[in-house]
Structure 1
Amino acid sequence: MTTDPGTGPPPAVRRHPGPPLRAPRPVTELRTAPLPGPPAADPPAGEQPQAATPPVGADVPTSTTESVGPVLVEGAARKPGRAGRDMVAAIGVGLALGGTILVSLLVHPPVFLAVLLVAILVGVVELTRALRAGDVRAPLAPVLAGTVAMLGLAWTRGASGLVAAFLATVLAVLLWRLRGGPAGYLRDASAGVLVALYVPLLAGFAVLLLAPDDGALRVLVFIATVVGNDVGGFAAGVLFGRHPMAPSVSPKKSWEGMAGSVVACVLVATPIVTLGLGGPWWGGVLVGVALAVSATAGDLGESLIKRDLGIKDMGHLLPGHGGIMDRLDSLLPSAAVAYLLLSVVVPA
C-alpha cells in the first residue's frame, strides 16, 4: 500500500553528531588568537577552565601589561614616560653622576681625572662592542692603551701631548689590525680610528680645560651647560614640541626643544663665565649658544650611529640612560668647543 506524501508522516532525518557546545571563556583568558587544531575537551563539571599553554616556538607576548577591552591583567609593569625611559631611574642615576663629578672636582683635580679616565675606558669598550652589531671589528686593545696615553699626556704635556698620543694611537690601530688579514681591513681599521677620535681625543679637551688654576670652574661651566641643554630641551620638547628636527634620526627632538636648550644653556653659562671666570657677559652668551649646538649635534650624531647599527642604546650600565656612551654623546664634542671658546673669551 502506498502512502500519500502530502498526508503521511515526514521521513526521518539522520543527524551527524557534532562537537559539544562549550561555554565561552572569560575575557581575561583571551590573550592570544587560538591556534588551529582539534577542539579541546570540556572541563569536568565544577572545575574552572585552565588557560592553554602555547607550544614550544609559539609567539608569546613579552610585555607584562596585556588588556582586552576594559580588563587589565594584574602584574602590569610601569610604562616608560613620553621620553621612552624610566624617568625615576634616569633622574636618580643623573643625580648620582652629577654628585660624583662635582665632588671629584672639589676634592682634587686628579680625582676628577681618574673618574674621567674610567668613564672613557668604559665608553671605548661600549662603542667597540656596539659596532659589532654592524659586523665591524674595531681593534680594542690599541684604543684602550691610546686612551690612557691621550688623557695622561694631555694632563702633563698639554695640547701637543694629546695630539701626539692620538697620532700614535692611529698608527697602533693600523698595525694591530694587520694580524687579521686583508678581509675587512679598511672597514675595521677605519672604525678603530673613529673610536679613538670620537671618544678619547675629544675627552682630552676636558683634561685641557682642567689643567689651568681655575680649571675646576672651566670644567664646571662646560658640564653644567651641557646638563642645562638636556634639561631645557627635554622640558620644552615635552611641553611645546610640535615640529620634529630630524625625524629620521631622532623622532623625539623638536625645534621647540632646541629653543629651550639654547635658553637654558645661556642661563647656565653666562653667570659662571661672568662671575666665576671674570669673562664678559657676551662671552657667556656665546658659550651657551655654542654648547647648545654642539651638545645637540653630538646627541644626533650618536643617534645616527645607533640607527645605522639597529640598536637602541650603546650599553645597559646606567638604568634609565643606557650606557656610559649614551651620556657622553653630548659632552664629548662640547668639551672641544668649550676649550676653544674659553681660550678666547677667558684666556687662562
Structure 2
Amino acid sequence: AMLFEILTAEPLHPRGDDALVSTLTSSPMSPAERRPDRPIAPELDELCQAMQAEEPEGRPSAHEVAKRLQLYIDGDRDLELRKALAAEQLAHARAVLASADVNARATAMRHAGRALALDPASVDAADVIGRLLLERPAALPPALIASLDELDRDALRKRSVRATRSYGSVFLFLGFLPFLEVRSWPWLIAFYVVLGAVVAFAWRGAITGRVSPYLSMLGNFTLALVWTRVASPFLLTPAMICGALIAVASHPWNQRRPWTIFVWGAITIATPFALEAAGILESTWAIENGAIQISSAIYNISGTAEAAAVMTANFAFILLVGAFAYTITRNGRVASHDLHIQAWHLRHLIPERAAR
C-alpha cells in the first residue's frame, strides 16, 4: 500500500470505515491504470501489483521487494516487459487512429509516445509519431481549431497595429493645409472623416484581434473612393488601393474565398471611373492632345506648394505600402523557415522510415 501511494500520490484504499471492505473485495490495482497521468515505471507497476496478491505465497518477500527496488534504482530494466507494454500502447494508438474520433490524433500521439518511451528502438512507434507530426490531418480537432483561431487573431492584431499607424500617418499631411488652396471643404472634411473611421476600425482590431471582413472591405472601398477626389484615380489612389488589397488579402476570411479579393479590387478600381463617367462625381481627369490631364476635386493644384505636397504624398504612400508588404512577406518567410527547421529536426529525430 505504501509503494502504491508513493507511485500514485493517493491511497490504495479509501480512508475510514470503507477501508476494510475495499481491502477484502478489491483485486490488485495497477498504479499506472489508477493514475495514467503519472510517469510510473512498468517495473514498479508490476511489483506493486504483485505485492497486492491475495494469497501470501503469491506475494514477493521483503527481501525480493528490496532487491527489485534496488535493481530499478541501479538502472536495471525489464526490457521484455517494456517491449510488451510498448506493443500494447502502439496497438492502442493504431486502434484510436482508425476510429472516427476528432481527438484521435492527440490520443494516438500519447499512446505512441508512451510506446516509444518504453521501447526507444521501436521503429513502428517512431513511424506512427512521425506520421502524426509531419502529415496534416484530414479533420482538425476542436482544440486545435480554437488554437489556430487564436493564432489568426494574434496576426490580425499585429496587422491592425500596422494599419493604424499607416492610415494614421496620413493625418500628418494636414500640416500642408495652410499652404494649399482648398476647392471643396465638404470633400476635404469627408476625406478625413472616412480616414478617421478607418483608423478607429483598425485600432479596434488591434485591441480585440477581431476584424470584420465586410467592414474592412467597405471601409477601404469608401476610403479609396474619397481618395480619388484628392488627385484623380490615377495619382495617389493606386498606391492606397495596393495597400488596402494587401490588408484585404491577408484576412483569413478572404483567403478562404480568394475570389472576394479580386472582386473587391475590381469594384474599387472601376467605381470612381464609372461614377465620373455617369456625372455623379466631378471628373478629375481627361485626355487632351495625347496626354492625361488630372485635377483635384479638393485642392487647386496650380503652384509649387501643391505640386510638392502631391509628390511628397505619392512618395510617402508608396513607401508605406512597401513597408506594409515587406513586413507581411518577412513574417511569412520567417514562419515558413521556422516550420521547415522544426520539420528538419523532427526528421532527424525519428527513424528514416518514419520520416518518409
Query: What is the TM-score when the length of structure 1 is the normalising length?
Result: 0.21
Query: What is the TM-score when the length of structure 2 is the normalising length?
Result: 0.21
Bigger Cα Rg: 2
The structure whose residues are more often helix, as a share, is 2
